[in-house]
Structure 1
Amino acid sequence: MSDNSRTPSARPVAVPAGPSRRKWLVPLIIALVVLIALLLLLSQCGGDDDNTSAGTTTATPTAAATSAAATPGTATDTATATAEDGAGTVTAGGASLLGAGGAQNLSANDGKQATGQGVKVQSVPADEGFWVGSSEQDRVWVQLTGTNGESYYKVKQDDTVNFSGTVTRAAEGFAAKTGVTAAEGADQLTEQGYYISVPASSVKLSD
């Protein structure tokens, strides 16, 4: 037989690679798109948190806020502040009788023991009475008792004194009977309606 009669041998046929590549390329693109979207979403959430934190402020108490007005029957920052300022304190029932709420605390502590510590004498308008406090506006009247025939410390203006006595309601016309004139604070004494009755022997010059 001749060589021409032989059956041609089978040759390998090349298969296009395009379709198989597309099978994994499409999911890869989808995965990348999803990943980018997630990254963008996370970055936006983080930005919102930062803005929220930056825009949030925490209120802190100020010195003015902590200096609350005196409340009847309770200890107050006013008494502490007065003592720190060197004006001394006058208290009854744990409440300050000077400063904000002082007049209200006088009536709330009617009949209770009052104590003055290192308080300044503003003026001495009467033989048996004087004003104590930090100023002409912030003061309370002290009326001495037991002065007849007894030797006691003679109070003078600008003295700093200690004493103990009783919060007492002022009777009608008390200022006039005591000898306090309008220029010496008679209207203020009448408006407050209370004073501190103090045995003369308890008044001492503060160190």
Structure 2
Amino acid sequence: MKYLAIVGTNSDVSTNRMLLQFMQKHFSSEAEIELYEIKDLPAFMEPEDSEVPEKVEELSEKILNADGVIIATPEYDHAIPAVLKSALEWISYTSQALTDKPVLIVGASHGTLGSSRAQAHLRQILDSPELAARIMPSSEFLLGKSQAAFDNAGDLIYPDKLAELDEIFREFVLFTDITMKLLAEKVQKKSAKKFTWQE
């Protein structure tokens, strides 16, 4: 599997980035995970000339070429960061590249709740008609007390959380595979459909 992992913050120091970097290394034998920074994207605004910024086109292309997307979000005031909302608005307004794309949401926070409210907020956004992502159900990876969660090598040191992450990622690979097969079937049925004037 080939996944695009979106760092959902513009902060230079982030345990959400560290979580994705660990996942990239830890699951390297199971999947190719590419990290993507959204901090260089312009803030969303409807362009007067309909010109899509180059960075937005780049993100859209990477999403389209990936088998699935992993988004790591911190929690700011019970919600996702403005920079992540802005990136999703660009995708919604332009390419709609997340439509039917398998998505796994993870999150880390310095507190004990591990971005639970932000993850719920992100699910709502991704479920909107203009984004229409395929979010893996019944999955929630919440990494609380994240400042102490990684050692100097960047490895996750909480054994219970490591076991949980392993299980969720295996499920996501399976979910991606099933989703791709279902969508391929859907396309075949759609292309095989006869219209009234063909009967």
TM-score, with length taken from structure 1 = 0.21
TM-score w.r.t. the length of structure 2 is 0.22
Say which structure, 1 or 2, has more relative contact order (CA 8 Å, 6+ apart): 2
- Give the number of the structure whose residues are more often helix, by fraction: 2
More strand by share: 1
